[in-house]
Amino acid sequence: MFRKFVYLLALAREQHFGRAAEACHVSQPTLSNAIRQLETDLQVPIVERGQKFAGFTPEGMKVLEYARRIVAERDGLRQELQLLAEGVSGSLRIGAIPTALPVLPHLLARFGERYPRIRASVISLSSRDIQRELDEFTLDAAVTYLDNEPLNNVRSVPLYSERYLLLARRTLAGNPANGIPWRDAAELPLCLLTPDMQNRRITDSAFRMANRIVAPSIETNSIVSLYTTVRNGLCASIVPSQLLTLFSAHPDLVALPLVEPSLTHVVGLVCANRDPPAPLAKALSDTAAERAVTQRIEAAMAEALGPWLRPAAAPVEPDASMIGN
């Protein structure tokens, strides 16, 4: 029965009988027959029949939900047994919203110090995809927003607060000493993240608070593209503060705190709310809760952002007594 559940999960993931069979290292007839046997065992149709895979029946979706829990419990048991035999080791699957990727290495550095035998893979996902994959037990943990569109059925550990800056060429935005209101930023040509990103939804909400609706000139799903677009003078952008830790301050660019409203949102680590928790996810959560981790993040962000947030030095006027000497 358990092997049939594994085949069923592969079919749900691949959406194709041939690819699912290949992922399970079996022939397509073997996988198809196993799922038919599962339908016979449970006395319900699981797969919508057609010339090719057409999805799951309502009964099949319920079986799929059960299969995910069973396989996740199996994985947790394996981790527990491995922990008893060998100590903490294994592979950890971590999702992260794109805007959190610059901060994640600070968590993983500390985690690697504590658990050098654990291998981590990091996947960039939207917050909605993170919720789905946590529900489906295809992620062990994720780094995402905690207080804007809270996820369901998770345990969370705060890591840092995200602030919002206008990134632009100095000739476009000037260099006001006290930041720039959102209503003024709305008048600039903007490159913003795509609407499927929660950071974009936060940005749109802030503009609405300032009684502005923005139609960006350029949209992208890449945080690096935001920077390169601004660097090349095409647009300004609204960026999360941690993005600028990736780049050295540039004399032609300015990063201005956005005000009226002044917003922050908390980003943190989440994992599925299971009892008992999966051992590797618990190990990562325990590490994230250490003050040393948040201190690393705070120090790295303060050091990197300092040059961006300091106003440009005024040009030095020549000393009249020196002219002509």
- Name the residue with tokens 């008893």: 84
Say whether both 121 and 269 belong to one domain: yes
Say whether both 255 and 175 belong to one domain: yes
Q: Which long-range CB contacts under 8 A does 47-54 form with residues at least 24 apart? A: 47/11, 52/16, 52/17, 53/11, 53/15, 53/16, 53/17
Say whether both 130 and 157 belong to one domain: yes
Say whether both 131 and 278 belong to one domain: yes
Token output for 86: 């060998």
Q: Number of structural domains, the chain?
A: 3
b (16+ CB within 10 A) / e for 76-87? beebeeeeeeee
Say whether both 43 and 110 belong to one domain: no
Token output for 255: 């990063």
Q: DSSP code of 287?
A: H
Contacts of 169 (CB under 8 A, 6+ apart): 230, 233, 236, 252, 253, 254
Say whether both 168 and 259 belong to one domain: yes
pTM over 0.75: no
In CATH, what number is assigned to the domain containing residue 177? Answer: 3.40.190.290
Amino acid 318: pLDDT: 41
Do residues 258 and 180 make contact, with C-beta atoms less than 8 angstroms apart? yes
| Residue 319 within a domain | no
| Residue 324 within a domain | no
205-248: per-residue pLDDT in tens?
Answer: 999 999 999 999 999 988 888 999 999 999 999 999 999 898 88
Per-position pLDDT tens, the chain of length 325: 778 888 788 888 888 888 888 888 888 888 888 888 888 888 888 888 766 788 888 888 888 787 877 777 777 667 666 665 556 667 889 999 999 999 999 999 999 998 888 889 999 999 999 998 888 888 999 999 999 888 888 999 999 999 999 999 988 877 676 789 999 999 999 999 999 999 999 999 999 999 999 999 999 988 888 999 999 999 999 999 999 898 888 888 999 999 999 999 999 999 988 877 788 888 999 999 999 999 999 999 999 888 887 654 444 344 444 333 3
173-193: per-residue pLDDT in tens?
Answer: 776 767 899 999 999 999 999
Smallest Cα–Cα separation from 240: which of 231, 253, 227?
A: 227
Domain range for 197 is 164-263
- Name the residue with tokens 């985690």: 111
Phi and psi torsions of 261, nearest 5°: -90, 155
Alpha-carbon distance of 88 to 214, in angstroms, equals 49
